[in-house]
Amino acid sequence: MTSFPRISVPNFTLPKVTLPGLDKLPKVDLPKISLPQLHSIDLTNVDLSRINASAVLQNPVVKQATEVGYTAVGFAVLGFQKAQVRRREVLESLKSRFNTAQ
């Protein structure tokens, strides 16, 4: 297992950021959202051998949903990689600004 060197970064405070109009956004109270009770569905009498999986997979809606899912995962991976690059850039900037050694 590779161990990475520790980098000492001095304490600093980030500037306060205010977003105008943020208080005007609607609030969502998650505990009040009602989801269906899935544990009450009885699947014991469902015969899965009668389901034509190839027909389901050929459905244009299913194909489109699959493509949307692949695209979303791709964007998530790209976003994560971009965040990693930004993190490394910030660390390099902090190292050069505060002259910290590895």
Domain-located, residue 21: no
Three-state SS string across the chain, please? CCCCCCCCCCCCCCCCCCCCCHHHCCCCCHHHCCCCCHHHCCCCCCCHHHCCHHHHHHCHHHHHHHHHHHHHHHHHHHHHHHHHHHHHHHHHHHHHHHCCCC
**What global pTM score does this model have?**
0.43
Question: Whole domain around residue 95: which residue ranges?
Answer: 76-102
Give me the pLDDT at residue 85, please: 92
For the chain, what is the domain count?
Answer: 1
Domain-located, residue 82: yes
Domain-located, residue 99: yes
Domain-located, residue 101: yes
pLDDT of the chain, 102 residues: tens digit per residue: 566 667 676 676 767 777 777 777 777 777 766 766 666 777 788 888 888 888 888 888 989 999 999 999 999 999 999 999 999 998 888 888 877 655
Domain-located, residue 33: no
